[in-house]
Amino acid sequence: MECAASGKAMQSSPGAVVVALYGPSPDGLWMRLRAYGEAGLQVVAVNNNAAGAAPPLEPPQLIWLNNSNSGGLAGGLNRGVAEALRLGCSTITLLDQDSELDAEAVLTLQRQVRGRDDQVVGPAIWDLERTHWHTRELRPRMLISSGTSFSATAWQRVGPYHDWMEIDFIDHEWCSRARQRGLALRVLPEVRLAQQFGQRHPNPLAHRLGLQLYSPYRRAIALRNLRWLVWQGYIPLDIRLKETVKMLLKPWCWLALEPGRLGTLRSLRAGLLAPLGEPFPRSLLRGAGV
């Protein structure tokens, strides 16, 4: 199956789903991807793991791209969208590999953006770990990347994610850029995506405080990216201030509530020293327990 630019073929293939894969495949992933293909969607799976065995689905249901984690999540999504555009797909939905969203929900999202370059839509998102909703307001200022749906022309108008950022704050930046360029963000509350964000923190107090367990790399790159984010005037000031305050508090919680304090200090040092606007130098994390 290939997306087509016009005519009857376009109707039979309404759009694409781009999924970035990293780490072990969660339960139900391949069943969901197969269901997307059976619904007429082109599935573009970007393998951010080291190139390995072939996927359990075969083209034309699946386009499989080995990306070797180049540019992290941002680079994987960018490469997947570029492939969907090359195939002529007119609408695209981004998904994390552990996002639970059925095929009809994807089609509903894509119907809202087909032929429009003035809006980006997403689902209401249920956090399976914290058991609460993210992004339920109808006119949000930010959409979590998973579930984000747009037309090909909207993507071209906004541009790709900054792949040097790799993962943390990429949705803050991209959505702010979309709004700056005149696109509206919308949530369809009747479309619901379920997902677990991060790993449950083993410390009960840390869990109650809303902390999750992330690797030293994730902590370092979040700090590095925030150093850049706070100076971007097109990102709402209150968002920049909120994220800065959170980052001022989190390291003290990490040091107080987690083992491996030396590794935490090394990850914080890496986040403060890593250059902006270029790939994260993992050599700075040597000895941080990555």
Model pLDDT for residues 129-142, shown as the tens digit of each residue = 777 787 777 789 99
Residues whose CB falls within 8 Å of the CB of residue 151, separated by 6 or more in sequence, listed in order: 90, 91, 92, 113, 114, 115, 116, 117
We report the CATH number of the domain holding residue 52 as 3.90.550.10
Helix axes 29-38, 103-113, angle to 10 degrees: 50
Distance separating alpha carbons of residues 40 and 62, to the nearest angstrom: 11
Q: What is the DSSP letter of 195?
A: E
Strand ranges (DSSP E) for 61-211?
A: 62-66, 91-96, 119-127, 132-134, 149-151, 184-195, 199-200
Q: Are residues 256 and 168 in the same domain?
A: no
Low-confidence ranges of the chain (pLDDT < 50): 5-13
Instruction: Please tell me the predicted confidence (pLDDT) of residue 288.
Output: 61
Instruction: Please tell me the predicted confidence (pLDDT) of residue 2.
Output: 57
| Type and span of the H or E element at 212 | strand 212-213
Q: Is residue 1, in this structure, part of any structural domain at all?
A: no
Nearest C-alpha neighbor of 60 from the set 144, 2, 101? 2
Q: Is residue 134, in this structure, part of any structural domain at all?
A: yes
Q: Are residues 98 and 211 in the same domain?
A: no
Q: Are residues 177 and 251 in the same domain?
A: no
Distance separating alpha carbons of residues 158 and 153, to the nearest angstrom: 9
Nearest C-alpha neighbor of 280 from the set 160, 161, 165, 162? 165
Q: Are residues 38 and 134 in the same domain?
A: yes
Instruction: Please tell me the predicted confidence (pLDDT) of residue 290.
Output: 59
Residue 138 sits in which domain range? Answer: 7-195
Helix axes 261-273, 237-257, angle to 10 degrees: 150
Q: Are residues 105 and 234 in the same domain?
A: no
Instruction: Please tell me the predicted confidence (pLDDT) of residue 260.
Output: 80
Q: Domain boundary at 195, 211, 242, which?
A: 195
Distance separating alpha carbons of residues 161 and 170, to the nearest angstrom: 7
Three-state DSSP string of 218-239: HHHHHHHHHHHHCCCCCCCHHH
